[in-house]
Homo-oligomer: A and B are copies of this chain.
Amino acid sequence: MTALRDETDDADIGDLHEVVDPVPGAGAPHLPQQPDLVQLLTPEGERMEHPDYPLDVSDEELRGFYRDMTLVRRWDAEATALQRQGELGIWASLLGQEAAQLGAGRALRDSDTAFPTYREHGVAWARGVDPLHVMSLFRGVDNGGWDPVERGFNLYTIVIGAQCLHATGYAMGVQRDGDGSAVLAFLGDGATSQGEVNEAMVFAASFDAPVVFFCQNNQYAISVPLERQSKVPLYRRAAGFGFPGVRVDGNDVLAVLAVTRAALQAAREGQGPTFIEAFTYRMGAHTTSDDPTRYRLAGEVEEWKLRDPIARLKAYLSRSGLADAAFFEDVEAEADRLAARIRSGTVEMPDPRPTAMFDTVYAEQTPPLAAQRAQFEAYQASFEGGEHA
């Protein structure tokens, strides 16, 4: 059956080994280059140009990225610590994915809208969401304390992939409104296997919806490595649905910014969807409940440390004289203040009112639920009166 198999072997869908390699070269000197990877900043902090993605970025913005990523990483570390101390129910760390998230988040305009998974704390930061409004979710106080409409940043979605359809539908609305904004849907590598995510690609392509699918391929879905989801690079999925896919070095904040901006701009201009695969790595556990030593080797993590997204930007800033020691110290100090605020804000967070659970089930309350609420209040009151004591 040579005829069909030949097609598998051609450049278009071959290269199986590239992905089976647990740490495909994202530019580390000892690893093979990926010809299809967009990169503007090497792991050593060298600035590169890419013919398709010229990037104009001010010194101020570059320092801003360093600050963003450092603060977000510190927040993440503080949250992990707070979980260990019992102050959070769980925490999903973004460690290692700061560049992917800040690059994507900063590519958005104010009027754009993002649809995150549960790990996009960096994007939340870029959208001006108060970290405490994210902490409240993981503390079990609410399902996210920010205003999704005001922030242009939807609430976290925990059911894998469901938000890709929401983003697509929202983009269909944007299209009808004709206001030139765009929509960014986040998803993980594991999520690409969900039917709903593939349906989102069908709808987005069919309606030319102004939506960009931003997939952080962090190599794992909990314990399951990428190759269980796909043996070919994920960005190639898009072509089969009729729109472009591109792979970017997800640990390179500049490349992510450039590629995401270009895709959003195309969406704005009516050119339809794009799929971006940000090739990155989950440096920590899936969540604080996870034990990654059960399914991956320490050496793999070590190799990825060589591609740290913050270290490379720091190297570039230092080397090119864009930032000095004082700048880096300032950022550290700011990170300390942020961490302190997050800590105190979290531990002092008031518990929700118990009756809250009845009050926003519906926009128009129903008589039976109002009655249940009243019974609940009477029942609670009976304890205060000592009836059940």
Contact = CB atoms under 8 A, between A and B. Distances in A.
A244 B7 contact: yes
A229 B240 CA distance: 12
Interface in A221-240: 227-232, 236-240
A34 interface: no
Contacts of A194: 195, 199
A229 B246 contact: no
A219 to B, nearest CB: 16
A242 interface: yes
Contacts of A237: 240-241
Interface in A185-200: 192-196, 198-199
Interface string A1-26: 11111111000110010000000000
A183 to B, nearest CB: 15
A1 B238 contact: no
Given A1-B262, A3-B53, A3-B262, A8 B202 contact: no
A274 interface: yes
Interface of A: 1-8, 12-13, 16, 51-53, 192-196, 198-199, 202, 205-206, 227-232, 236-246, 262-263, 265-266, 269, 271, 274
Contacts of A229: 202, 206
B242 A13 contact: yes
3 cross-chain pairs, A with B, having the tightest CB-CB distances, nearest first? A195-B195, A3-B52, A240-B240
A181 to B, nearest CB: 15
B240 A239 contact: yes
Contacts of A265: 1
Contacts of A239: 7, 12-13, 232, 236, 239-240
Contact of A5 (B16, B196, B198, B244): B244
Copies of chain A in the complex:
2
A246 B8 CA distance: 11
Nearest to A263: B4
Nearest to A38: B3
Given A232-B240, A266-B5, A195 B196 contact: yes
> Which has the most chain B C-beta neighbours within 10 Å: A227, A231, A263?
A231
A103 to B, nearest CB: 16
Contacts of A232: 239-242
Contacts of A206: 227-231
Contact of A240 (B3, B4, B238): B238
A244 B4 contact: yes
A263 B4 CA distance: 7
B240 A241 contact: yes
Nearest to A4: B244
Nearest to A264: B1
